[in-house]
Amino acid sequence: MPKRSEDEVTTEELPPRIPTLSSRGTAHVRFEVEGVRYEGVRQLEVRPNGERLVEVERRVADGVLSGPCLVRQLSSPFTYIQRQRMIEEVQLAFRLTHPNIAQIFHMQADEVEDVAFTVMEYVGGPSMETLVCAALVRGQPLSEGFGLYVGAEVADALHYAHTLTSEDGKPLGIIHRDVSPRHIALGLHGEVKVLDFGAAYSVMVGREESPETLLRGDVAYCCPEYLRMERLTPRSDVFSLGVMLVEVFTGKHLFEVHDLPVVAAKETRFRTEVPPSLPLHQMQSLMAAFNPDVVEKAVAHLNEDLKAVLHTALRLNPEERFTTAADMRDALRGVAHAQLREPYGRAEAIKEAARVVSEGGKLRDKVEFGEAGLYPEGLEKHELGLKKE
């Protein structure tokens, strides 16, 4: 996230219904949709593709504050493909009503006014990316209870999406395709939220197919069949969740770049839509050598029940994985019931998250980060739960 100062935020009256940012990149935007007024608070992120994420406050007609939202604004000018994907994402998201899936409230895409944006649920807690990074910096992974809780909640949300049907009862065939720490976050009360179904695949009528050579999402968390551009199933998301949970439980990514000799990138017909955490050619090399021994090496110190769940989720052959995300959810909850002395839920999760980001944040200036990029770019102390100096 870009660094900013609270003093840089200015008030600027903008045309109604058009949430654009000033040329100085300030976060203050004002627009109105169906009688509800939105006022910008701060710019959270500018993505490599030019999209901006802005936190806004929502006010009803009488001016009463009714809570924060998130505005995702496409770069201007935006392409037809960008606009079409946003429309498809919203059409899909409107169908997803689950407590562990962040909601989309409104969309506007107007080529004449050169504006395209969505208003989404704002999840105020840290992402799993931030938590994993903070845990790594402090030198201690997140707790087993935390990982089991988050993993089961995410699996429950995925199963809901995987089994969603149309009005006439036909399966929509939704696959998230980008289950990764960046797209999982905690709410302010410890609830788990799956974000961004923008890379999702489904068989909804009218949704465009991604080009055969385009890999959407972060390939560092994708399943082997995706890298081979083979048919995806719910078991594909199960594999991605397994990769993420290995990182949560161990503090290390399942696929480590330093395990590979330095080699020149080979030509490939594939291309990635967003910059991946691991270079595509290295991920392809690591996946080519992937087997159960790789998993065992990563999770050797975990208890046997938890290891069994991760091994099942991370089978190279999709047919050997959990049949559904619900099966993985139940397995994770079974381990929690058998291994944890006390129940672990929202209250415990938000307390641990606050402690981890605080402890990790205190060490940021003392740790040599190198090329690992331990914290998301621009993460500031107050975003780690620390007091401003």
Structural domains of the chain sorted by starting position, each given as residue range(s) with its CATH number in brackets: 6-121 (3.30.200.20), 128-346 (1.10.510.10)
Distance CA 158, CA 239 (A): 12
* Sign of the alpha-carbon torsion through 71, 77, 81, 84: positive
Bridge partners (DSSP) listed for residue 171: 165
By DSSP bridging, strand 214-215 and strand 271-272 are parallel
Residues contacting 62, CB < 8 A, separation 6+: none
Secondary structure of 238-297 in HEC code, one letter for each residue: HHHHHHHHHHHHHCCCCCCHHHCCCCCCCCCCCEECCCCCCCHHHHHHHHHCCCHHHHHH
DSSP string across 211-246 = PTTEE-S-GGG--HHHHTT----HHHHHHHHHHHHH
Per-residue model confidence as pLDDT tens for the chain (389 residues): 333 333 332 323 333 333 333 333 444 567 777 778 888 888 887 776 677 888 888 887 666 667 888 888 877 777 777 777 777 777 777 788 899 998 888 877 766 666 778 888 888 889 999 999 899 888 899 999 999 999 999 999 999 999 999 888 888 888 888 899 988 999 989 999 998 775 666 765 444 444 444 455 567 898 999 888 788 899 999 999 999 999 999 999 998 765 555 444 455 555 555 555 566 777 778 888 899 999 999 999 999 999 999 999 999 999 999 999 999 999 999 999 999 999 999 999 999 999 998 888 766 555 443 323 334 444 444 444 434 33
Cis peptide before 77 (omega within 30 of 0): yes
**What does the pLDDT read at residue 278?**
63
**H-type alpha helices, the chain:** 80-93, 128-138, 144-162, 224-227, 234-250, 280-288, 292-299, 304-313, 325-339, 346-362
Tell me the per-residue pLDDT of 100-134, one tens digit each, with 9 for 90 and over: 998 888 877 766 666 778 888 888 889 999 999 89
Assess whether 178 carries a catalytic annotation: yes
Active-site position among 156, 178, 218, 237: 178
